Amino acid sequence: MSSRQPNAGESLLNARRVVVKVGSSSVSGDNAGQIPHLVSCLARLYAAGAQVILVSSGAIATGVPFLRLDERPDDLATQQAAAAVGQNILVNRYQRALSAHEIIAGQVLLTAHDMENPTHRGNARRSIERLLQLGILPIINENDTVATHEIRFGDNDRLAALVARLMGADRLVLLSDVDALYTAPPMMAGAERIEFVPYGDPLDGIEIGEAQSGWGTGGAATKVQAARLAADAGTAVLLTETKLLSAVLDGEPHGTAFEARSPDESLG
């Protein structure tokens, strides 16, 4: 494991196609006010010439208060109802922020079945590709209104990695409410930020999981799995905190970077 880290901000600003995934906790509830900040970062990438795809969680969390519920529902039907309301509100919040930059969003909702079925997968690729060609910023989420427990992606980190692979993105940014991957829970004495993960590094000796990760719900495990899934397809990955993305674009060294597999490197 190396401490060397490429300049992530410069790499992102020079990228051809970037997928950015943001977690529910970063764009809903008290943190809904972070959306304009996130959008301003996407606009910087867009202005630099990158094609930008946003994978955003948050539909259910956004919809819950509008259903006059005190907490996230446990039953699937109410979760689906919350998603139906929340997705509409969430995309409208994004579009209001994007309009200040004269960018139009296009909503794309996918299920795990769509990514597994070759016909559906091809349709999704063509649709997203055409949106990008037309200068539209696709906002992708799992279609929680129709998805069931049996066919869900399980986590939008995986969805983002699959979208990055599908669309041949050269960069994937996984945003959450923790700034990086650490060698131990960040609050523990001696925990150190992992700046750079070379391709294929097994991260031996690093405890990765929901309870030990410091990533909150979902855990670092899903982030690492998604990063490796994307890296295997040649997409470099950055894990960092939503509010630090602007600083990263300014050249500051935040987050954890995962090296992509080189084109001539065997998947073995």
88 phi and psi angles, rounded to 5 deg: -60, -45
Confirm or deny that 155 is annotated as ligand binding. Answer: no
The closest alpha carbon to 111, from 91, 84, 132, 140, belongs to 140
Cα end-to-end distance, the chain, whole Å: 20
Q: Is 57 assigned to a binding site?
A: yes
Distance CA 166, CA 19 (A): 11
Residue 144 counted as an annotated binding residue: yes
Per-residue H/E/C for the chain: CCCCCCCHHHHHHCCCEEEEEECHHHHCHHHHHHHHHHHHHHHHHHHCCCEEEEEECCHHHHHHHHHCCCCCCCCHHHHHHHHHHHHHHHHHHHHHHHHCCCCCEEEEEECHHHHHCHHHHHHHHHHHHHHHHCCCEEEEEECCCCCCCCCCCCCHHHHHHHHHHHHCCCEEEEEECCCCCECCCCCCCCCCECCEECCCCCCCCCCCCHHHHCCCCCHHHHHHHHHHHHHHCCCEEEEEEHHHHHHHHCCCCCCEEECCCCCCCCCC
250 annotated as ligand-binding? no
Is 176 assigned to a binding site? yes
For residue 24, say whether it is annotated as part of any ligand binding site.
Answer: no
Annotated binding site: which residue ranges?
Answer: 21, 57, 144, 156, 176-177
Binding-site residues for substrate: 57, 144, 156
Residues making up the annotated binding site for ATP are: 21, 176-177
